[in-house]
Amino acid sequence: MPIIVQACIVAVTLALVAVAIVLIRAITQLQSTAQQLEQTMGHINRTIPEIERTVVEARSVLDTLGSAANRIDSLTSQFAATGERLARASSLVVGEVVEPAVKVAALVKGVRAGASALAGTFLKRRGVVPTTPHEGGNHHE
């Protein structure tokens, strides 16, 4: 056999050995990756039920919060209605009691001032001087 054919056979053999080594390393790497993937899937499978329980509990909490918010909204509406009733009652008290009382107080003050003025004039005409510590004004000397 000629040397060239022998050299080609050696080259092809070396190439096949190199390909075999690369394939063995690739298969080893794939086995390692598959093992890690299997472990990850096992962990995910163990975690999924916990996630499902958490979601159910979260839904329960959200439902509870929703019903609490509805109750709070109802209470707020009731407080608002009570406030409106109290405002109307206060307005009624002011309109029906306080305003007439202020008018009566003003009338009494006016009658008193008028009676005092009449009595002062009557006493001055009779010559009697009232015994007051001061005669009006703001100075009490």
For residues 91 and 86, what is the distance between their CA atoms, to the nearest angstrom? 8
Residue 94 confidence class, pLDDT cut points 50, 70, 90: confident
In a domain, 38, yes or no: yes
Q: Structural domain tally of the chain?
A: 1
Place of tokens 């999924």: 48
In a domain, 139, yes or no: no
Place of tokens 């009697």: 128
pLDDT given at position 53: 94
Residue 135 confidence class, pLDDT cut points 50, 70, 90: low
Check whether 27 has a pLDDT greater than 90: yes
**What is the overall mean pLDDT for the chain?**
87
In a domain, 29, yes or no: yes
Q: Which of 11-15, 51-55, 103-107 is predicted with the least confidence, judged by mean pLDDT?
A: 103-107
Give the tens place of pLDDT for each residue, 96-113: 777 888 888 888 999 998
Q: Give me the domain span that covers residue 18.
A: 1-91
Range 84-99 average pLDDT:
83
Q: What is the CA radius of gyration of the chain?
A: 54
